[in-house]
Structure 1
Amino acid sequence: MCSSKLQTSLLVVGYFVYLLVGAAVFQALEKTAEKQEKIAAAQMREAFLQNFTHLTVAEMEQFMKNLTEAIQNGVYPVGNESQIEDSNWDFSNSFFFAGTVVSTIGYGTLHPKTAGGQIFCVFFALFGIPLNIVFLHRVGKMLSLLCKKLGKFLYEKGMRKKKIKFLTLLFFLATGILVFLCLPSLFFQITEGWSYSEGIYFAFITLSTIGFGDYVV
């Protein structure tokens, strides 16, 4: 039992250290390139504002194309120059991205654009996805052990096996729905300003690793 707890602790620590290291590397590889994109987008915006009355149709179409590409890359040329310093690749976002990679959710709202970031992402996922599977397997094993203890307790109380199986399954499902759907949805409703149904939708899309990306925290 002690060895099992130690293994679980080491796995949890290793899992989060892996995510933290990945987040730090993604931030280092992507943040500078993103800043350059923001500067270029700001310059494009200023040039448009100064010359928009004299632009030809072709120049306007090129501006719209550049604007669309900037937005697709997560750069929004609005506001003042101080917003250039605000990065999508700060440590919290980088950590979030690392989690979406190893869990195979892949919302698509944040992705590496540099060659170095893309290559690192391949190797990070290559080792991170199996690690995530092992981590989730351990979580499932712990929940299964909890159900077994509940079943043993009910059996000692004289309850029949069929009823015990039904109650342990019900406990397992109820706990999963509460912990992974109901409570997170309430949290998302409070922090993100979504409706509760939107929170449920986001939680399910995330848990199922579908990850459309239409809702992202």
Structure 2
Amino acid sequence: MPFLTAPNWQISWTPLLVLGYLFYLLLGAMVFQLLEKQAETHSRNQFHLEKLQFLQNYTCLDRQALEQFIQVLMEAWEKGVNPEQNSTNPSNWDFSNSFFFAGAVVTTIGYGNRSPSTVAGQIFCVFYALLGVPLNLAFLNQLGKGLNARLITLERWVQQPGHDQVVQRLAVAVFLTAGTLLFLVFPPLVFSYVEGWSYGEGFYFTFITLSTIGFGDYVVGTNPNKHYIPFYRSLTAIWIVFGLAWLALVFNVEADLMEKFLQLKWHKPDLSLAEGSPTKLEDEPKQPRIHILT
């Protein structure tokens, strides 16, 4: 574990990194809420006023009136206003939603369903990401080192005398299965229950999110007809952070296995052409080369 050292004292900076990361997310959530919520309320009220005036002026829609109404709807969507919502619906920029957005920014998931509409919010978002993205990478790297240390400890245990290959494979399988259940199997059940999705849709959202692909076709907490529990999206953001570290670990294990497989393929022709003593392959590393993707 990394330490900060001084003449007469030393402290671990890992807890400071964790606290700093959480503080940064909380700070971003508060600023985004402060900058965007009032503008969203104004846009929502303006949209409903224009819709009311439109319906009062046009009792029978013709083609021109329909095109005008569609234009109003498009402008509302561009400003982040859901036409199905009214002024009594929860804000898209309350603290929970702002916290989720801040997490989507620093993790570079970028669903694309919500973005700052004010100039101040857009400028803040740029500088927030400028510092937040490397902070997120440092946090995930530190978290990945912790997971990697557990995996190395498990590997050393299974390689002790008396543990056959079946036990070794079983131990690694248990480690990977536990993470799979925690981050890929159980969360879709929760999302299916809360969001009304099928399990397949929940699993699709889970993987697309944790892999940072983030299409934005499925996003939690966006159904205007549902009443979500407080901090539902904030808890989801925390789950995403730890899920990112675990899935990055899995991806790197897969990449390491692929590299070894390709190296064996590349060495086979050299072994067949070698004369005299057979060519010796490079020694296998004693510890898995696992690093968080950056």
The correspondence for 2:110, drawn from 106, 113, 118, is: 106
Greater Cα offset, 10-19 or 47-56: 47-56
Match of 1:60 in 2: 66
2:35 matches 1:32: no
2:208 matches 1:205: yes
Alignment length (residue pairs)? 214
Distance in 1, matches of 2:86 and 2:152, equals: 59
Q: Deviations over 1:78-137 (max 9, x none)?
A: 465434xx3100000000000000111111111101111111111111111111111111
Distance in 2, matches of 1:33 and 1:26, equals: 11
- The one-letter amino acid paired with 2:203 is I
Higher helix share: 1
Change (3 A) 1:159 1:205: same
- The one-letter amino acid paired with 1:199 is G
Q: Measure how far apart 1:27 and its partner are.
A: 0.6
Distance in 2, matches of 1:173 and 1:128, equals: 29
Q: Deviations over 1:122-169 (max 9, x none)?
A: 111111111111111112111111112222333345325x66764564
User: What TM-score does the superposition give when structure 1 sets the normalisation length?
Assistant: 0.87
- Aligned identity (percent) is 52
Change (3 A) 1:188 1:115: same
2:180 matches 1:180: no
Match of 1:216 in 2: 219
Where structure 2 has 5 or more consecutive residues not aligned to the other structure, the ranges are: 5-10, 221-294
Secondary structure of residue in 2 paired with 1:119 = helix
Structure with higher Rg: it is: 2
Change (3 A) 1:12 1:179: same
Q: Report the RMSD for the aligned CA atoms in angstroms.
A: 2.5
**For the Cα contact (< 8 Å) 2:109–2:214, is it kept in 1?**
yes
2:37 matches 1:16: no
- The one-letter amino acid paired with 1:152 is R
Change (3 A) 1:196 1:78: closer
Secondary structure of residue in 2 paired with 1:82 = coil
Distance in 2, matches of 1:165 and 1:119, equals: 52
**For the Cα contact (< 8 Å) 2:158–2:171, is it kept in 1?**
no
- The one-letter amino acid paired with 2:145 is K
**For the Cα contact (< 8 Å) 1:45–1:77, is it kept in 2?**
no
Match of 2:124 in 1: 120
User: What TM-score does the superposition give when structure 2 sets the normalisation length?
Assistant: 0.66
- Relative contact order higher in (CA < 8 Å, ≥ 6 apart): 1
Secondary structure of residue in 1 paired with 2:97 = helix
Where structure 1 has 5 or more consecutive residues not aligned to the other structure, the ranges are: none
Secondary structure of residue in 2 paired with 1:213 = coil
Greater Cα offset, 133-142 or 183-192: 183-192
The correspondence for 1:195, drawn from 189, 194, 198, is: 198
- The one-letter amino acid paired with 1:65 is Q
Change (3 A) 1:183 1:48: same
2:143 matches 1:148: no
**For the Cα contact (< 8 Å) 1:155–1:164, is it kept in 2?**
no
Distance in 1, matches of 2:85 and 2:143, equals: 45
Match of 1:88 in 2: 92
